[in-house]
Amino acid sequence: MKIRKGILRIVIILVILLNMGIILNLFSSSENSFLCNSVDDCNIVRSSEYSKLMGVDLEKIGLFGFSLLAISYIFSTKTLDYRLTLGLSFIGAVFAFYLIYVQLFLVGSICYNCMLIDSLAIVLFVLLFIEKSAVSISVSMSASQAEEAGSIPARRISKLKKNR
C-alpha cells in the first residue's frame, strides 16, 4: 500500500489539531462537552483523583503535550528531530493506554471526550510510525529502486546525475 507523504503529513497535523480542539472544548465547558451524552460520567472522570498529575490538570498537560508534538512535527527536518517527535508520540500513546485503563478499571466511568483524545493519541503514534517506516524504506532503497517507486528524493538524485 502506497501512502503519499504529503497526505499523511496533513492527516497527522489534522489529528493533532483535532485533539487540541477537543481539549480546548473541555477547558471551555465545565459541564457540557460536545461528545458527552452522560455529563455525569464525564464529570466523574474529570473530577476523579486521577484527573491531575502532580497537581496539574490532565487537560493542561494534554494541551501542552500536543502543542509540543505539533511544533516538533512541523519543524522536524532531520532524522534526530523526527525521532524526538516519534518519541513524544510514543510517550503520549503509552500515557493514553494508561488513561483508558484508569477510566475503565479504576474510575469505572467513561468520558467520551477523554476516550476520543486517548484513542487519537494512539492513532497519531501509529501514523507517525508508519510515516517513519516509509521514510526509512525510501532511504534504504537504492536510487534506481526509489526512482521506480516514484520517491521525490530519487527524482532529485536523477536530476543531479543528469546535470553532471
CATH H-level, domain 5-163: superfamily: VKOR domain (1.20.1440.130)
Q: What is the pLDDT of residues 126-160, one digit of tens each?
A: 988 988 776 555 545 555 555 555 555 555 555 55
Under a CB-based contact definition with an 8 Å cutoff, are residues 95 and 101 in contact? no
pLDDT at position 29 is 61
- Please name the residues in contact with 30: beta carbons below 8 A apart, sequence gap of 6 or more: none
Q: Say what percent of the chain tops pLDDT 90.
A: 16
Domain extent listing, the chain: 5-163
Q: Which three cell numbers stand for residue 98?
A: 494508561
Q: What is the pLDDT of residues 70-98, one digit of tens each?
A: 888 888 777 667 788 899 999 999 999 99
- Please name the residues in contact with 33: beta carbons below 8 A apart, sequence gap of 6 or more: 25, 26, 39, 42, 111, 112, 113
pTM: 0.70
pLDDT at position 127 is 87
53 DSSP β-pair partners: 56
- Higher-confidence residue of 40 and 122: namely 122
Q: Which three cell numbers stand for residue 100?
A: 483508558
